[in-house]
Structure 1
């Protein structure tokens, strides 16, 4: 009975902090409140990639109004600037992946996937599958390209081209 009345006791419900909805969803909050244009732009790029939003979404008036309310100082990039930033992020991640694989993986297994778009254009993706030194399975898209043939010889040349890019 005495322990329940003792305010500093760890089981006292008054001092237990409830998790916020952001914590439950795994949302990372910034430890500082200063505005950083580049950090915001990087997170915007990651959002577009992660959610697979169309580039034209940056021109949506509701999106622009929402961002302006959140942070009026943020300069929303154009769809062209966004596209360039996504390619830059892709190139940087590809270099990081090359270093990681060379240091932490003994073998890498490759798979390809092909599909045809609504415009009747064919594409191929090249995916690496590997197990790191801690026995964690990884799957990463290494490259993708437009293809003009589905023959084995052509596909092998495209895989080589994708690996050398």
Structure 2
């Protein structure tokens, strides 16, 4: 085994180190939505993972300090939307603290189980929440897909190096 010249000096794990490491990890961009009375909630997530095909289960992380957490902590169902590269502005809106996420610029409709479904996504699911697992200052939400659509057109939106990106040919 030979020594690599690309290794730096190891650092103790800190929140800053974790963020720096994951800036190197390209991730798909999703928006998670939930109903909350008359005003829906939602947030941008890059932690979406397919967990199981049988039954069809996904997971995502949400900070307990997030403005969406109170609704997600009580919701029975959530919407999961896979965004396309044409939806960078939508992803930024749902990521921005204090933004009017369901304002006039956001096209959406009430979907199954009363869950907000965003228009124009590459694909979407309505999922029944089956567990909320504590994980530090976050919760990992496990949700079983109930209904959805994968017929959207376009290419996926990615998040890398702290910004939204499109695939390159």
User: TM-score band (shorter)?
Assistant: under 0.3
TM normalised by structure 2 equals: 0.23
Query: Normalization by structure 1: what TM-score?
Result: 0.23
Q: Which has the higher strand share?
A: 2
Higher relative contact order (CA 8 A, sep 6+): 2
